[in-house]
Amino acid sequence: MPYHHQPETKPANGLPIRILIADDHQLLREGLQAVIAKAADMTLVATASSGEEAVEKFKATIPDVTLMDVRMPGMDGLGAIEAIRAFNSNAKIIALSTYAGDALVRSVQRLGARGYLLKSMLAEKMFTAIRDVHAGCMCWPPDDGRGMMRTKDELSPREREVIHFVACGGTNKEIGLHLGITEETVKGYMRSILPKLGASDRANAVAISLQRGILNAWELEATPR
């Protein structure tokens, strides 16, 4: 997926860009560390394996740029971004994910992140994103036709709950019992959800929700059946 970015910008003070990496996978942390070590204008100041640790490490080191995985145990990356930005509103954070969904991009934008990168991105593009964000620019995926910046068709919190339980295999009756609403009300929510997503049926709605990041696979895995 292509990204909008600015031309390479070197730190004005000549000092290396200080980076914090937060990801719960050790191999990925080590891989990112090895990549960053190849950039003469960057240095790693700390790593974290959870959202809570990321917040602690940020407060202890005050990095120039933080690379934040959105999926981590305990406090996830979204919670960590919110906590860090509450502590330091000038924090420059780039969200990392294996998902390219527009809803997830909007979520990190609203929390104050400065960019969004796929973990599969080539090292040189990651370098460019880090330099851009450090220089005060943003690094977001362009609108790819799915309406990344649309707001009129966003699902309501309740509609998100309904589609979540649909994805978990719940029937209208089961979803109604879980949410404390009637089966007919669940059907009403589905009648609203389908056109908002441009979906033909329940299965298609789930597929689109996963693609756009409205639903996250890791949350579905953690939901008791």
The per-residue pLDDT for range 119-176, each reduced to its tens digit, is 888 788 899 999 999 999 999 876 543 444 444 457 888 998 999 999 999 999 999 9
> Which of 220, 213, 192, 71 is closest to 147 using CA atoms?
213
Q: What CATH number does the domain containing 58 carry?
A: 3.40.50.2300
Judge whether 6 lies within some domain.
no
> Do 27 and 112 sit in the same domain of this protein?
yes
Instruction: Note the pLDDT tens digit of each residue in 11-55.
Output: 556 789 999 999 999 999 999 999 999 999 999 999 999 999 999
What percentage of residues in the chain have a pLDDT greater than 70?
Answer: 85
Residue 121: predicted pLDDT:
80
Q: What is the mean pLDDT of residues 192-205?
A: 91
Does residue 107 carry a pLDDT above 50? yes
| CATH number of the domain enclosing 209 | 1.10.10.10
Structure token pair of residue 100: 């390219």
Does this model's pTM top 0.85? My answer is no
Are 108 and 195 contained in the same domain?
no
Within 8 A by CB and 6+ apart from 116, the residues are 94, 95, 97, 104, 105, 108, 109, 139, 140, 141
* Structural domain range at position 207: 157-222
